[in-house]
């Protein structure tokens, strides 16, 4: 049974006196510092999201500062960081200097926006990105991936191969 746990080191309850507000102009109902959200399946953590702070709104929106999500896999971890994030209706949207790294697969993905659907366990972006994997650089306009970033579907790609790659010849 999956459960989403929200743990915080400090929650300030009541109306927030924060100067910033959500894009809709509403003031957050609560603000939390040192936020940890975790999804579990059968007692095992499937992902863990940490944020420096989060604002909670009456409409169930959550706006996060400096979110970092770690996807736990059998073969290691995929780690995603960003400047900002939102959590609304099961979709986590990461914005601003989004970076995904998977050390076990020598993978690094950079983009300005990335979405993650907590129900379907699919990550995607519809903005330009750069993907580096084992010395190969791929640029594209959109992608879709599983939560571990081991299966990636790339749309409108341009690939830069390293000059010393053996076995490939330029097309004539």
The model carries a pTM of 0.77
The predicted pLDDT at position 29 comes to 85
Q: Which CATH superfamily is domain 3-19+26-160 in?
A: Lipopolysaccharide (LPS) transport protein A like domain (2.60.450.10)
Average pLDDT per block of 10 residues along the chain, 172 residues long: 39 36 69 91 88 88 94 86 94 96 92 96 96 90 92 84 67 61
- Calpha distance 164→167 (Å, rounded): 10
The predicted pLDDT at position 168 comes to 62
Is the CB of residue 108 less than 8 Å from the CB of residue 132? yes
Write a three-state SS string for 69-127: EEEEECCEEEEEECCEEEEECCEEEEEEEEEEEEHHHCEEEEEEEEEEECCCCEEEECC
**24-69: pLDDT as tens digits:** 567 888 999 999 989 888 888 889 999 999 999 887 889 999 999 9
The predicted pLDDT at position 119 comes to 92
Which pair of structure tokens corresponds to residue 69?
A: 């999500």
The predicted pLDDT at position 16 comes to 38
Which pair of structure tokens corresponds to residue 31?
A: 């603000």
Give, as one character, the DSSP assignment of residue 134.
Answer: T
- Calpha distance 87→89 (Å, rounded): 7
- Calpha distance 59→72 (Å, rounded): 30
């Amino acid at each position: 049974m999956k459960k989403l746990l929200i743990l915080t080191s400090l929650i300030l309850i009541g109306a927030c006196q924060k100067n910033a507000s959500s894009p809709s102009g509403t003031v957050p109902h609560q603000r939390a510092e040192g936020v940890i959200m975790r999804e579990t399946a059968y007692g095992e953590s499937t992902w863990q999201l940490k944020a420096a702070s989060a604002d909670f709104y009456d409409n169930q929106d959550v706006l996060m500062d400096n979110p970092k999500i770690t996807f736990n896999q059998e073969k290691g971890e995929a780690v995603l960081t960003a400047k900002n994030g939102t959590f609304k209706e099961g979709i986590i949207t990461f914005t601003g200097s989004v970076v995904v790294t998977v050390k076990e697969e020598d993978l690094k993905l950079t983009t300005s926006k990335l979405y993650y659907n907590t129900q379907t366990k699919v990550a995607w972006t519809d903005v330009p990105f750069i993907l580096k994997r084992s010395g190969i650089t791929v640029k594209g306009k959109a992608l879709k991936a599983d939560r571990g970033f081991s299966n990636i579907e790339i749309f409108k790609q341009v690939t830069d191969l390293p000059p010393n790659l053996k076995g490939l010849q330029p097309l004539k």
